[in-house]
C-alpha cells in the first residue's frame, strides 16, 4: 500500500520504503521519493551505488525486493497501464538503430506512443538541430547527433513523467542548451522529471536525492 503520503492525489509518483537486492546482496533500502507536477528530482551518488537500478525500478523494468511504488496515490498494481502510458524512459544507451535514418528511428519511437505524423517527426528533428541529416543512416552521424535523435522523443511525447539517465552524454554546448530548454519547458507545463546526470543543469528548482545514504 501507499503509506506515509500526506496528500496522495498531489503526487504523480511516490514510493514507500523501496528495497532492492541482487544475488543476495542488498543494494539499497528505504527509498521514499515524492514527485509532484512541475518538479524534477536529480538522483545522486557515486558509481555503483544503484542509480540506474533505481531508475529501472521506477520504470518497472525491475521489481523491488520490497516496498511499493504508487502513481497518483494508487498502488501500481491497480494503475499499471495508466502509469506506463504516462512515462517516458530514455536510458544512458541511446537505443538508436544505426542502420536506420534519424527520421526512421524517431518515426518508430513515436509510433510506440500512437504518433504517426511524418511532419511532426521531421519538425521534432529540426528542433533538435538535425534538419540537415534527418535522412542519413545513423551510423554516419556523430555520437552527439545520435544522442539527439534519441532525445528528439522529448519533443513528441505526451508523457507527463520523464525518466532520463545521463541525457547530456556526448552532447556539445548547443545540444545541452537544447535539452535543458526542453526539460524546463516540460516542468513549466506541469510535467515531472527523474534524472541522473553528472553534469550541472541550468534549471531552477532541482531537488537532489542522495542515494548514498540509502546504500546498504
Convert the pLDDT of each residue in 108-130 to its tens digit: 999 988 899 999 999 999 999 99
Share of the chain above pLDDT 90, in %: 81
Q: What is the pLDDT of residues 161-170, one digit of tens each?
A: 999 999 999 9
d(CA 126, CA 73): 38
CA–CA separation, 192 and 31 (whole Å): 18
Intervals of the chain under pLDDT 70: 1-9, 216
pLDDT value at residue 5: 43
**Given the C-alpha cell 541522473, which residue does it identify?**
196
What is the structure's pLDDT at 74? 93
Residue 216's pLDDT is 64
In angstroms, the Cα distances linking 209 to 45, 107, 117, 194 are 9, 34, 38, 10
pLDDT for the residue 193:
97
Query: Tens of pLDDT along 186-204?
Result: 999 999 999 999 887 778 7
Check if the beta carbon of residue 160 is closer than 8 Å to that of residue 12: yes
Give the global pTM: 0.93
Domains delineated in the chain: 1-86+161-168+192-216 (3.40.50.300)
Q: What DSSP state is assigned to residue 133?
A: T
Is residue 20 within 8 A of residue 30, CB to CB? The reply is no
Of all residues in the chain, what percent are helix, strand and coil, respectively (each to 5)?
Answer: 35, 25, 40
- pLDDT at res. 2: 54
Beta carbons within 8 Å of 95's beta carbon, 6+ residues apart: 150
Amino acid at each position: 500500500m501507499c503509506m506515509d503520503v500526506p496528500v496522495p492525489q498531489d503526487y504523480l509518483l511516490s514510493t514507500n520504503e523501496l528495497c532492492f537486492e541482487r544475488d543476495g546482496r542488498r543494494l539499497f533500502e528505504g527509498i521514499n521519493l515524492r514527485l509532484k507536477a512541475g518538479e524534477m528530482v536529480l538522483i545522486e551518488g557515486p558509481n555503483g551505488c544503484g542509480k540506474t537500478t533505481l531508475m529501472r525500478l521506477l520504470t518497472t523494468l525491475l521489481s523491488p525486493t520490497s516496498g511499493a511504488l504508487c502513481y497518483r496515490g494508487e498502488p501500481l498494481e491497480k494503475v499499471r497501464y495508466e502509469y506506463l502510458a504516462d512515462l517516458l524512459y530514455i536510458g544512458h544507451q541511446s537505443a538508436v538503430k544505426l542502420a536506420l535514418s534519424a527520421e526512421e528511428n524517431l518515426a518508430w519511437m513515436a509510433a510506440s506512443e500512437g504518433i504517426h505524423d511524418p511532419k511532426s517527426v521531421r519538425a521534432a528533428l529540426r528542433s533538435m538541430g538535425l534538419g540537415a541529416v534527418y535522412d542519413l543512416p545513423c551510423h554516419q552521424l556523430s555520437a552527439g547527433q545520435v544522442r539527439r535523435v534519441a532525445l528528439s522523443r522529448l519533443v513528441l511525447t505526451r508523457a507527463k513523467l520523464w525518466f532520463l539517465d545521463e541525457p547530456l552524454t556526448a552532447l556539445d554546448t548547443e545540444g545541452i542548451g537544447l535539452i535543458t530548454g526542453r526539460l524546463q519547458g516540460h516542468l513549466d507545463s506541469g510535467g515531472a522529471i527523474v534524472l541522473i546526470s553528472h553534469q550541472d543543469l541550468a534549471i531552477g528548482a532541482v531537488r537532489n536525492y542522495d542515494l548514498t545514504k540509502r546504500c546498504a
